[in-house]
Chain A
Amino acid sequence: NAGVTQTPKFRVLKTGQSMTLLCAQDMNHEYMYWYRQDPGMGLRLIHYSVGEGTTAKGEVPDGYNVSRLKKQNFLLGLESAAPSQTSVYFCASSSPSSGSGDDTQYFGPGTRLTVL
């Protein structure tokens, strides 16, 4: 049981390049999230999904797009990377409607992205 995995672990981009971060979970969770972590800012929600085929904006969605074509995968795309998007990106998943009362979010190990 791998939990939440993220690919890649590290990436360096040049301004204007594009890339996609992949998040996968094997816990059959309905909800998935993308956060970014910046020094002194805590974690901020970029986009989230409450089920396959659905996505919604979080606190800081500008410059990012997401897709949830399969329940176990949640992709985060940067169409034209900017230095302000240098950050550590975390994916998380949860299943708050499972009936167990467990609304815990489970996090992946993170992707460190640098945009030059």
Chain B
Amino acid sequence: GNSVTQMEGPVTLSEEAFLTINCTYTATGYPSLFWYVQYPGEGLQLLLKATKADDKGSNKGFEATYRKETTSFHLEKGSVQVSDSAVYFCALSYTGANSKLTFGKGITLSVRP
């Protein structure tokens, strides 16, 4: 079956540090890939997505590139802010009748001033 593996957390960084959160997946065909973010006390929000190989999703300074050859979708940001402190989930799904999301376990990011 499909699965998503995220690096173990939590991650603690100082403000303005570079961020990488690893995500790899196991799936057949060509799923869409997503990063969702959950701020404290809130529901999940879509951060970015990519729907085909070599696509780059970007939003709020975050980027991730769909790498079919390495089955990866690593999240990066050049300079994190305290307001980026949240839980980040990598996920995949297919369009149409099989559009269920498969999530990774999530990783907590804390950014210190």
Interface size bracket, B side: 20 to 34
Cβ of A45 and Cβ of B49 under 8 Å apart?
no
Interface string of B37-57 (1 = CB under 8 A from A): 000001111100101000000
Nearest-neighbour CB distance to chain A for B107, whole angstroms, equals 10
Cβ of B97 and Cβ of A108 under 8 Å apart?
no
The complex places the Cα of A16 from the Cα of B12 at a distance, in Å, of 41
Interface string of B58-89 (1 = CB under 8 A from A): 00000000000000000000000000000001
- Whether, in the assembled complex, B29 has its beta carbon less than 8 Å from a beta carbon of chain A, the answer is no
Cβ of B43 and Cβ of A97 under 8 Å apart?
no
Q: Please name all residues of chain A whose beta carbon is closer than 8 Å to the beta carbon of B105 when the two chains form the complex.
A: 40-42
- Whether, in the assembled complex, A96 has its beta carbon less than 8 Å from a beta carbon of chain B, the answer is yes
Q: Please name all residues of chain A whose beta carbon is closer than 8 Å to the beta carbon of B89 when the two chains form the complex.
A: 42-43
Cβ of B46 and Cβ of A45 under 8 Å apart?
no
Cβ of B42 and Cβ of A48 under 8 Å apart?
no
Chain B interface mostly helix, strand, loop or mixed? mixed
Cβ of B95 and Cβ of A96 under 8 Å apart?
yes
Interface string of A31-60 (1 = CB under 8 A from B): 101000000111111001010000000100
Nearest-neighbour CB distance to chain B for A44, whole angstroms, equals 8
- Whether, in the assembled complex, A109 has its beta carbon less than 8 Å from a beta carbon of chain B, the answer is yes
A–B complex contacts, Cβ < 8 Å, 7 sampled: A42-B106, A45-B101, A96-B96, A101-B95, A103-B93, A105-B46, A107-B43
CB within 8 Å of B: which residues of A? Answer: 4, 31, 33, 40-45, 48, 50, 58, 90, 92, 94, 96-97, 101, 103-110
Q: 5 closest Cβ contacts across the A-B interface?
A: A42-B103, A42-B105, A107-B44, A107-B43, A109-B43
Q: A42-B103, A105-B101 are in contact. List 16 more A-B contacts (CB 8 A).
A: A42-B89, A42-B106, A43-B106, A44-B103, A92-B44, A96-B95, A97-B96, A103-B51, A103-B94, A104-B46, A104-B49, A105-B46, A105-B93, A107-B44, A109-B43, A110-B42
